A and B are shown apart, each in its own frame.
Chain A
Amino acid sequence: MKYVKPTINRVDFNLASKYGSPLKTQRIKNDIDGVNVKELTETFGSPLFVFSQRQIEEKYNEFKEAFSSRYPEVEFWWSYKTNYLDAICKVFHNLGSKAEVVSEFEYQKARHLGIEGKDIIFNGPYKPKEALKVAVEEGAKIHIDHWYEINDLEEIAEELGREIPVTIRCNMDTGVYPAWSRFGFNIDNGEAYDAVKRIFEGKKLILTGLHSHIGTFMLSTEAYKNETIKLIKLKNKIEEDFGFNIEYIDVGGGFASKNRLKGIYQPPEVIVPTPDEYAEAITNAIYEYNKGKLPKLYLETGRALIDEAGYLLTTVFASKRLPDGKKSYIVDAGVNLLYTAFWYNFEIFLDKRYEGLNEPSQINGPLCMNIDIINENIMLPPLDRGTVMTIWPVGAYNVTQWMQFIRYRPAVVLIDKDSNPHLIREKEDLSDIIRREKLPDYLK
């Protein structure tokens, strides 16, 4: 006779609904693009980040089609900070994306991947002058964030003995809260116009673009419409007043993925706009308000392109019954690997169907820290040691903002379009951690 773990649950008739019983529903995912999750962890270790090239390409093509079918010249610039693993960047570059970086490190990484300066947008509030000069010399597109950067660029122009094409980053009220006002120059109070005037009067820089990035996980297409209208109106005015030829407007990124934000009741399928809806709002605004030649349209989409292509596999190490009756599962992936756990409720899948009734449970990571909670309230059947859970979507920001803490960071695998898994980042070991450390002689 088969042994099944004992379960007892209070029957709450309020829980029953026409959708079935929450005591029996199990979400199961035993493969990613045809590769068994258990085999993946056996081959590459657990926990394990897994990316699907097929899903990256599908999503990229969906966005590309949405914009390119509505507008003549659209360019995608891969947001490195979202995920700068070499293999992931290379997938995007092979699809036609250029690079958008926000630090000298990211700039160097893009160059290391063979991306030419002219195909790199250098964004961000902190661009040390040396890094800025290298980027200018190599022809990168510089997006100016503040007044001091104008001064720095003018000095570099003088040192190089030539004018530098530049873009300014703008911020504005787009009707959503909170407004991102700390990057760039404000359009509403005239600061952005003044910055253009200052650039014009300096005679060392040539304005060729306007940029804005209005926020992250933006669920309102109206905000993008408002952003685009304000950028286009500014473009019209400065072309007329100063004679600059604005070659492109960059509406940034911030498009939402199908992740589930904490505190939001409706599922992402209901509230997240489609690529077509975002594209419609932005391109219509350009057509309606642009005067003169249509500018190129640049997009710096990150999260929406990669989040759903990323999975984290984690294995149940142990379980315990908490004094309040809730079951706690201890898994081998902690919140140090899941930066986005603080604002998303991830989908969590089991590797197979388990016997027994669901009961209120929580999933805790391996960190000896009370905050290490991956899911605080989830209905799960009794799970065995060794159960593999799939956490999704985790493709954006986690493998850039993960933190080495207590344990080594895990391996990362990319599954190609023929369902072959490739190791794209090895699991760390002690040498990675101590390589930069120095022990003074007197302590030896």
Chain B
Amino acid sequence: MLINEMIIDENGVAFIPSLGISFQINETAKEIIELLKEGKTKEEIVKILSEKYERDWREVYIDVEDFFIKLKVYGLIQ
């Protein structure tokens, strides 16, 4: 998965070296990508975020699902 080679700087700019393309991401996106790199599943990521931010997991699930579709559109995950 291309997401594993993503390099993220402190300004939220993410770079994929093999493609030479960049992305602008926010803090939550950064957290999700790091969890993905650790091999966490979508369900595990939802659980971690909803507990950390004390949010209804069902709401967080919609956001993470939405984010995953966008990662797929960019070809960063399968």
Contacts and interface: CB of A to CB of B under 8 A. Distances in A.
Contacts, number: 71
Nearest to B73: A325
Contacts of A320: 66
B55 A6 contact: no
B64 A6 contact: yes
Interface string A1-25: 1111111111100000000000100
Contact of A1 (B24, B25, B52): B52
B73 A7 contact: no
Main SS class of interface, B: helix
Contact of B70 (A3, A4, A321, A355): A321
Given A1-B52, A321-B70, A7 B13 contact: no
B70 A325 contact: yes
A149 B71 CA distance: 67
A1 B53 contact: yes
Contacts of A382: 63
Contact of A4 (B28, B52, B64): B28
Contacts of A8: 14, 23-26, 29, 67, 70-71, 74
The contact size tier of chain B is 20 to 34
Contacts of A4: 26-28
A319 B3 CA distance: 25
Interface of B: 13-14, 21-29, 31-32, 49, 52-53, 55, 60, 63-67, 69-71, 73-74
Which 5 A-B residue pairs are closest in the complex by CB-CB distance?
A325-B73, A3-B53, A6-B29, A6-B28, A321-B69
18 contacts: A1-B53, A4-B28, A6-B28, A6-B29, A8-B14, A8-B23, A8-B24, A8-B67, A8-B71, A8-B74, A319-B66, A320-B66, A321-B65, A323-B73, A325-B70, A327-B66, A356-B26, A382-B63
